[in-house]
Amino acid sequence: MATNFLVHEKIWFDKFKYDDAERRFYEQMNGPVAGASRQENGASVILRDIARARENIQKSLAGTSGPGASSGPSGDHSELVIRIASLEVENQSLRGVVQELQQAISKLEARLNVLEKSSPGHRATAPQTQHVSPMRQVEPPAKKPATPAEDDEDDDIDMFGSDNEEEDKKAAQLREERLRQYAEKKAKKPALVAKSSILLDVKPWDDETDMAQLEACVRSIQLDGLVWGASKLVPVGYGIRKLQIQCVVEDDKVGTDLLEEEITKFEEHVQSVDIAAFNKI
């Protein structure tokens, strides 16, 4: 539309010719003026260029390329016009594509509506009301009276028959036999003996006490369940040493009190007896 408007527009492209004729007329009448003539020459040149540009635009709109159409300002205007024309053509083609797409979408929507209407699940069916009859109370089945023959059969059944008694006797005998075997195994198994490890401190009277004789006296004590172990002399002070001896005893047979009584019997050598350590084994 813009191109058509510019083609039919009437523009004064020959204005520079009239300007030149008017300039010559005044020069002949008044004589040539140097400064003014130069300014008028410059203005005429500009006007001439503008007229040429307009002429090139008109030719480009008309489909013909004039001289200087591809260079200078006129060339830029021609390129702009060409781009505008190409954009309009492209816009028209895009409009055609959009219209086709809209038509295709409308066809698909119409087809989808037809398919939905024709599908059996889409049909709206009124819910069928079912008639529910009131609940009737179900009466339990009447118990039939027992006949004399059935009573006789019930009397024949023995709840505590002789077979059950025999099975109970066998189970009791088997249980007693297993208990007896378990008691015998337990009696044969040796019982665990509780033992303790004791560390004794035997103190002499003074530094003149014979410690070897004191140890011999202590080891001379022999009791059932008593076993003497290692010993050593530990210095106490002022040259006095004590006997530290270890022993293992059975708790049920030998106690600490008994050991102290037996050791303190040797009054000539032993002053006192202390338990340094006591551990269960």
Domain boundaries, the chain: 203-280
Task: List pLDDT tens digits, range 221-241.
Answer: 998 889 999 999 999 888 899
In the prediction, which pLDDT does 167 show?
Answer: 79
Helix (H) or strand (E) holding 235: strand 226-237
The model's pTM:
0.35
**Residue ranges of the alpha helices (H) in 157-191?**
162-188
Domain 203-280 falls under CATH 3.30.70.60: yes
In the prediction, which pLDDT does 69 show?
Answer: 42
Cβ(3)–Cβ(81) below 8 Å: yes
In the prediction, which pLDDT does 141 show?
Answer: 54
In the prediction, which pLDDT does 144 show?
Answer: 54
Sign of the C-alpha dihedral computed for residues 26, 30, 31 and 35 taken in this order: negative
Dist CA 271 CA 204 (whole Å)? 5
Residue from 245, 242, 252 nearest 272 by CA: 242
In the prediction, which pLDDT does 86 show?
Answer: 84
For each successive 10 residues of the chain (281 residues), what is the average pLDDT?
55 71 77 52 70 77 53 63 84 88 92 83 50 49 53 51 72 88 76 85 92 93 91 91 93 89 91 92 81
Amino acid at 201: D
Task: List pLDDT tens digits, range 76-96.
Answer: 677 888 888 888 888 888 888
In the prediction, which pLDDT does 13 show?
Answer: 64
Q: Which two tokens stand for residue 124?
A: 């709206």
